[in-house]
Structure 1
């Protein structure tokens, strides 16, 4: 059986972004997962029955640590002699693709699920541009997970168009529409959870799921909600996710508003976000950049319309006025207007709810994506 190595910077990407995919591939390949955070990686391996190999990697620019990781990974790949090395996330991409090239791995694939460098400038941007180009140069095939991302890569001249391919309709893993199904939650359950969170039963709830950081548009979201709640009392904002105070912290003013506003509720990171979608009315996702956001697909599968930024991925999942609204990036006024439009129009919300799950089920079903990727592996091997 051919060997397949999948590499991400940290294990949570294996758990969340690629959930179930490595198990599926293990029926066809001898699969090993590589990531940092040894204990978490080994737990992941035990939980899903996949072999693992620990290589310490950081999300920051750390040249000495990166060189150490590179040579450790190179030695492992040279010993294992896999047919395929497939990387995800920027740091795993540059280290994994370089090590695989050095080890003469025949098929070197890299999935691009977003470009953090788009929100940087100056010398840091120049460095990240070079790293991105080098990653793609070392790969034999690059898979942007959205059509918009593919166009950005071509525009930035990171790679030639013929090296790029979007699998299916986009995404890195599709969505398990049987798992994300609002029908699993009764009215009694929803009422009880709202009571536990102290969210008023009569309120319309806007939910955000993800990292509570600036580049996700949280500063604009909190400001827009605060302005809107002064006009309309029966609305609440539910924030599901952790803060990241080191890499991309929120403004101090935003922290204060979240803490002090009685209509803003936080849960911290949640392993299972479905109950929180189930008690909400709309997803608000004003991110500055994405690849192909799982959260928007998850919400859609749970019958939620979404307000999203006009960025790649988001504007491919959401059809304006069909299953959500698309607004300008970093535009607090546009965000407030869109929230008001949906929250005050029950018929519009109902129409979009009816469309949301069908669009996700038809275009982004998880097992369909797995089979598309498996076929791609086979085709690349044949070529």
Structure 2
């Protein structure tokens, strides 16, 4: 039996801990002895624990950011530098404790752990999950070089992200993020959420769920919805992902833009995401920075089409005019036109919905994609015995 240690980088809820939870919940415990080490405490710990493996919160370890999701500000880069050495030394202690055969990093920002692995146990294999595009910058290049030096293989959640790392001479496979169809499926009942939010049965609901940050284009979405909502009183827009209790200037701008329009509903992060998607009709993904959108694949698995920016990540998850629509970056008029089109043409909506579900079943099924991930592990050990 091989020992595998999963290392996660954040205590916050989001796509990365959700994806890791799905993965570990499908781990074949007759073949792998798994443990999870997360370097931050927070709500994500409880989620990870639900995956069925022991979870430990590490002390004195820090991520080294350099992706489009984290961005890069001077203070963040300084924190990167301050946390690098403590992370390396602490990681060595945990590697000695767990003695893994495989270390699976849930992000490229954990390369110091990979370095520690190779120092303590050079034969231990390191797999890095590429869950976000690396920045084309000094910080991003550090991640690119250091991961290439210490990582044995990459699993990327989409093709775009895979092209931002240096996989030359390394194993690499694109395995799309996946969905548990037992949780996300067309049979989930969204009526209670509609009743809670005061949404009528014949209303057309556009949904955004994710972080309310500049790179996700949320303000542009709200502005566009304001332009079309008066002519379509049965349209509703739900924006879910606010923290509300944090000093976030961008959130304040979005709230100010939404103020006064009773067709816009603003929500904090919620646990009942499947029910929220079930209560909606169309998933919105107005990203201005390229990265994977878990909300698109969750919606597709529930027979909901999506409208998104034609940008790295979303444009691999939507077949234009078949499972939804893609609009060119900053072309907000096109986004508005697609919202009206999909919200007023029932036959078109039904066609897109059926196609979205079929596409999700083919590409985003957890059973298929977790198997591909575990087959990736086995490749290292099969290669050694040949």
* TM-score grouping bracket, smaller chain normalisation: 0.7 to 0.9
Higher helix share: 1
State the distance in 2 between where 1:141 and 1:285 align: 30
Q: How many residues align?
A: 364
State the distance in 2 between where 1:321 and 1:75 align: 52
Matches within 5 A, 1:50-65: 50-55=53-58, 56-58=61-63, 60-61=76-77, 62=79, 63-65=81-83
1:40 Cα deviation from its structure 2 partner? 5.1
1:144 aligns with 2:146: no
State the distance in 1 between where 2:162 and 2:247 align: 26
Distance 1:313 1:248, change over 3 A: farther
Which residue matches 2:170? 163
Q: In structure 1, the residue corresponding to 2:208 is in which secondary structure?
A: strand
Q: In structure 1, the residue corresponding to 2:184 is in which secondary structure?
A: coil
Q: In structure 1, the residue corresponding to 2:268 is in which secondary structure?
A: coil
State the distance in 1 between where 2:46 and 2:245 align: 26
Q: Could you tell me the TM-score, scaled by structure 2's length?
A: 0.86
State the distance in 2 between where 1:43 and 1:194 align: 28
Q: From 114, 117, 120, give the equivalent of 2:132.
A: 114
1:333 Cα deviation from its structure 2 partner? 2.1
State the distance in 2 between where 1:181 and 1:139 align: 36
Q: Deviations over 1:53-107 (max 9, x none)?
A: 322425643122332122111122134321111112243x222222222222521
Distance 1:44 1:355, change over 3 A: closer
Q: In structure 2, the residue corresponding to 1:70 is in which secondary structure?
A: helix
1:37 Cα deviation from its structure 2 partner? 2.9
1:44 Cα deviation from its structure 2 partner? 5.0
State the distance in 2 between where 1:70 and 1:297 align: 35
1:43 Cα deviation from its structure 2 partner? 4.3
1:94 aligns with 2:111: yes
State the distance in 2 between where 1:276 and 1:335 align: 22
Q: Could you tell me the TM-score, scaled by structure 1's length?
A: 0.86
State the distance in 2 between where 1:141 and 1:244 align: 39
Cα RMSD (Å)? 2.5
Which residue matches 1:356? 356
State the distance in 1 between where 2:48 and 2:237 align: 36
State the distance in 2 between where 1:244 and 1:374 align: 39
Q: In structure 2, the residue corresponding to 1:5 is in which secondary structure?
A: strand
Distance 1:17 1:330, change over 3 A: farther
Q: Deviations over 1:94-131 (max 9, x none)?
A: 2222222222252111111112626xxxxxx3123222
Please tell me whether the aligned partners of residues 300 and 356 of structure 2 are also in contact (alpha carbons under 8 angstroms): yes
Please tell me whether the aligned partners of residues 134 and 161 of structure 2 are also in contact (alpha carbons under 8 angstroms): no
Distance 1:116 1:333, change over 3 A: farther
Please tell me whether the aligned partners of residues 205 and 280 of structure 2 are also in contact (alpha carbons under 8 angstroms): yes
1:240 Cα deviation from its structure 2 partner? 1.9
Which residue matches 1:71? 89
Which residue matches 2:36? 33
State the distance in 2 between where 1:234 and 1:256 align: 22
Which residue matches 1:121? none
Q: From 184, 188, 200, give the equivalent of 2:188.
A: 184
Matches within 5 A, 1:355-374: 355-374=355-374
State the distance in 1 between where 2:325 and 2:153 align: 34
Please tell me whether the aligned partners of residues 322 and 355 of structure 1 are also in contact (alpha carbons under 8 angstroms): yes
Q: From 87, 99, 108, give the equivalent of 1:81.
A: 99
Where does the alignment leave 5 or more consecutive residues of structure 2 unmatched? 66-75
